[in-house]
Amino acid sequence: MSDRPILRVQHIAKSFGTVLAVNDVSFDVRPGEIFAFLGPNGAGKTTTIKMLTTLLRPTTGSLELDGLDVTMHPTEVRKRFGVVFQDPSLDSELTAWENMDIHGVLYHVARHARRARCEVLLRMFELYERRDDLVKTFSGGMKRRLEIARGLLHTPKVLFLDEPTLGLDPQSRNQMWTHVRNLRATEGVTVFLTTHYMDEADRVADRIAVIDHGRIVATGSSAELKQQTGTDSLEAAFLALTGTMIRDESATAADQMRQVARVWRR
């Protein structure tokens, strides 16, 4: 492991109008590690991921990915990471292969390499047999696997996974984490993930940062967090750090749209 962090976040803040969503957040992620970013709903996780993935500009502070300033060189930075958003971002009217192929073109992967890489990844994620089926016929777990396979197509240095196991059954979740853990060996990729399942973070993450109310409240390995809080499970540690109060998020326009769509699709 080299000593330069692959991700360096220094004193970033993001405000939307008068709301301060992320408030002076700093952390480093080392190359090759699996880094879990935990926090209750509305704590600032997704906003932070959006800033790291060039979708939002931080109000203040600096972000570096592989030594490149994220806001100064968004295009260069984009080539270096893959991302699986919380919401699916596949085209369900296209086949698995077509989704992969379009991604390859968008990331300037040459045709020959693209084919080879699509095949390797679809096999790795056990989707090769279904490559010519429309994505809308896939199960939730298959869609997630396809998204991860797609995110890896351009051989990124960092893979962002925003709640990759949300809505999956225990079997698919288990399989998902097996895949994620294998990635380090097969792809040498750094993984930055968020999840609400503490047992999962406990199992896969090398290091964990806990964010609450837009601020980092703890960083360290799972063992360190437990020790720090005097608890015996990561879940207990998490609750000790962030309290037991339930966070209400107001429904956004996106949530309302989703509801409309659910009715429409029937």
Partner 1 sequence: MAVVFVLWLREVKKYLRSRVQIVASLGGPLMYLGVLGFGLGPVFQRAGEGSYLQFMAPGVIGMAVLFTAMFSGIAMLWDRQFGFLKETLVAPVPRLAIMIGRTLGGATVAVLQGTLIFVVTLIAGFRPVSVLAVPLAFLLIALVAVVFAALATAIGSTIKEMQGFQMVMNFLVMPIFFLSGALYPLPGLPRVLAALTRVDPLTYGVDGMRGLLIGRGSAHFGVAFDVAVLLAVGVVFVAAGAWRFSKIEA
Q: Which residues bind partner 1 (CB under 8 A)?
A: 50, 53-56, 75-76, 78-79, 83, 85, 87-94, 98, 101-103, 105-108, 253-254, 256-258, 260-261
Cross-strand pairs, 15:
20
Q: Which is nearer to partner 1, 13 or 204 (CB)?
A: 13
CA distance 222 to 233: 9
Q: How far is the CB of 91 from partner 1 (least distance, A)?
A: 5
Q: How far apart are CA 144 and CA 155, in angstroms?
A: 18
CB of 231 within 8 A of CB of 224? Answer: no
Cβ(56)–Cβ(50) under 8 Å? yes
Distance of CA 196 to the CA centre of its chain: 12
Give the list of residues 6+ apart from residue 58 with CB closer than 8 angstroms, or none.
Answer: 12, 13, 14, 22, 51, 71
Nearest approach, Cβ of residue 240 and partner 1 (Å): 34
For partner 1, give the closer residue by CB, 90 or 118: 90
Identify the sign of the CA torsion 222, 224, 227, 228. Answer: negative
The smaller minimum CB distance to partner 1, of residues 44 and 198, is found at: 44
Give the nearest distance from C-beta 115 to partner 1 in angstroms: 14
Tell the smallest beta-carbon distance from residue 106 to partner 1 (Å): 4
- Least Cβ distance, residue 137 to partner 1 (angstroms): 13
CB of 257 to partner 1, least distance (A): 5
Residue 49 or 198 having the CB closest to partner 1: 49
State which residue, 12 or 90, has the beta carbon closest to partner 1.
90
Contact 96, 146 (CB under 8 A): yes
**DSSP string covering 184-217:** HHHH--EEEEE-S-HHHHHHH-SEEEEEETTEEE
C-alpha distances out from residue 255 to 10, 43, 251, 252, Å: 31, 18, 6, 5
Nearer to partner 1, 154 or 207 (CB): 154
In terms of CB distance, is 114 or 226 closer to partner 1? 114
- Minimum CB distance to partner 1, residue 163 (Å): 14
